[in-house]
Amino acid sequence: MPIAPQGLNLRRLDAPLPMFRGAIDSAQWAQAARDIAQAGGRLLALWGSDRRDDGVMVVCAAYAVERGLLWLELPLPMPASGYPDLATCFPCAERMQRALADMLGVRAQNPEDDRPWLDHGLWPHGFKPLAHGAGDVPAAATFTPAPYPFVRVAGDGVHEIAVGPVHAGIIEPGHFRFSVVGEKVLRLEQRLGYVHKGIERRFTELAPLDGYRLAGRVSGDSTVAYAWAYGMALESAAAATIPARAAWLRALLLERERVANHLGDLGALGNDAGLAVGLAQFSRLREDWQRLSRTLFGHRLMMDCVVPGGVAVDLDVQGVRLIAAQCDAIEAEVQAMHRLYDEHAGLQDRFIGTGRVTPALAAQLGLSGLAGRASGQAVDLRSQFPFAPYDALDVRIATHRNGDVAARVNLRFEEVLESLQLIRRIARELPAGAIRSTIELPQRPAFGAGWVEGWRGEILVALELVPHEGAVRIRRCHCHDPSWQNWPVLEHAMIGNIVPDFPLINKSFNLSYSGHDL
């Protein structure tokens, strides 16, 4: 497929993988969406930018196409009018468009669903957090949450079960409204946004070289992926390169993050299906894994290890030995636990066929990342658009087609084993040299993007820099979590299943609330 409709003036971003940016008009905006969808491209993210100083409001869309990432911008003269709805081509756009309306006040034209998404009625009327000149929001206690118009399912014997937003545990808040007959689920509808933290606005108050710390706290379980994506975006905007050793160390950290999360999920999934020994064993393995991360890199989650220009940590010979020994030990135990899970009849009875998403539905709804690969979507940036060091590592994509809990569990096992192999090789082949380069910020408007395969899926960071009063500031930083694509698919995965299987299906996706509610 062509990278974009004919006649567009695209500019390649200065980045380690192919990313292009260009302006577009309303007709081209709609046509581009149709062309990309027809060719099998994917919508990665949708956001807006208030460039009122330039006389426009801009709606941005990032697509994954055959040649890489395509960042298209639709300028809307002030006062901003609507823009063509993308949800007709990409269903996952619906919630992104609703969030854009809440955050910036720019709405899609004739959307099927125009309910608020992040605004729960606790903001003053007309308050748009990302609009130019928006003040601080008053204390939430002065407002009453607005009722949310859930979709009602009518019929004999249909009743509703409301779960959350406060849950029996320490998970983040989200509301789930089940329409059921008996225990069979006819419909699930989600309500998120309870942990909206103002992160996207906070970025505009930080110096660009300090933004990596906030990016690394968008979603704590993906701190390395977000920090790398932010660093890549800043380095892209500044046309900077990082030392080879720094790139390899970033990949080592990212793979350790992937393993840690998979180990935790495999234990939780065993526990949710009644195999307590699974939780005990995987919790022990994850704890050992994170303790070594703390020893070698100063933090159990490896926060603030990835910095603009490279990394803040290095690895010596003794560290390489410790990592290799741990990988060998973990691999043997993970393989033993994989056999236990496969041979446990009760566990497999709970896993197989539960929460199934067919490959056709996954493609239609834009299911991405780990969950997408378990439903036949063979998408992994480490293999499709490999940049250093992945271009030298030949990453194997793990995929399944059953799309059920069993497939998502097996895929985790396979990804753990692949990551262990990658970690050993990275540690063994680390190039010599510096671990960080100096970033010189451009004294002109600049744009950059970072695109990284986190453990959950693709992390995207889009960054705009502008000179301001002798310094350089962040005009806009949009961080996108793959949970945006995958939360709506979880609703479909629950249809026809029973209510008691919801914790198991939900955990098999393990989506981020925090990464969604920025």
Write down the pLDDT at residue 339.
98
Mean pLDDT over the full length of the chain: 94
Model pLDDT for residues 96-128, shown as the tens digit of each residue? 999 999 999 999 999 999 999 999 988 888 889
pLDDT band with cut points at 50, 70 and 90 for residue 5: low
Kindly report, residue by residue over 261-319, the tens digit of the pLDDT: 999 999 999 999 999 999 999 999 999 999 999 999 999 999 999 999 999 999 999 99
Cα–Cα distance list, 400 to 161, 195, 267, 348, 416 (Å)? 32, 33, 20, 16, 15
pLDDT of residue 349: 97
Tens digit of each residue's pLDDT (9 = 90 or more) over 118-165: 999 888 888 899 998 777 666 655 667 778 999 999 899 999 999 989
For the chain, which domains are there? 11-118 (3.30.460.80), 158-191 (no CATH), 201-509 (1.10.645.10)
Q: What is the DSSP string of 144-189?
A: -PPPP-PPP--STTEEEEEE-SS-SSSSPP-EEEEEEETTEEEEEE
The Cα 63–Cα 368 span in angstroms is 13
Asked if residue 425 has pLDDT above 60, the reply is yes
Residue 180: how many other CB atoms lie within 10 Å: 18
Q: For 253-313, give the DSSP string.
A: HHHHHHHHHHHHHHHHHHHHTT-HHHHHHHHHHHHHHHHHHHHHHSSTT-TT-EETTEES-
Mean of pLDDT values over 51-56: 88
Write the burial class of residue 223 (CB in 10 Å: 0-12 exposed, 13-18 middle, 19+ buried): buried
Residue 83's nearest CA partner among 31, 128, 23, 29 is: 29
**What does the pLDDT look like over 214-249, one tens digit per residue?**
999 999 999 999 999 999 999 999 999 999 999 999
Helix, strand, coil tally for the chain in percent (to 5): 40, 20, 40
> What pLDDT is stored for residue 335 in this prediction?
98
pLDDT above 70 coverage of the chain, percent? 97
Q: How confident is the model at residue 171 (pLDDT cuts 50, 70, 90)?
A: confident
Mean pLDDT of the 367-374 span: 98
| pTM across the whole model | 0.96
In percent, how much of the chain has pLDDT > 90? Answer: 88
Q: Would you place residue 1 in the very low, low, confident or very high pLDDT band (cuts 50, 70, 90)?
A: very low
For residue 7, pLDDT beyond 70 = no
What is the C-alpha to C-alpha distance for residues 464 and 446, in angstroms, rounded to an integer? 6
Contact of 232 with 459, CB cutoff 8 Å:
no
Confidence of residue 79 (pLDDT cuts 50, 70, 90): confident
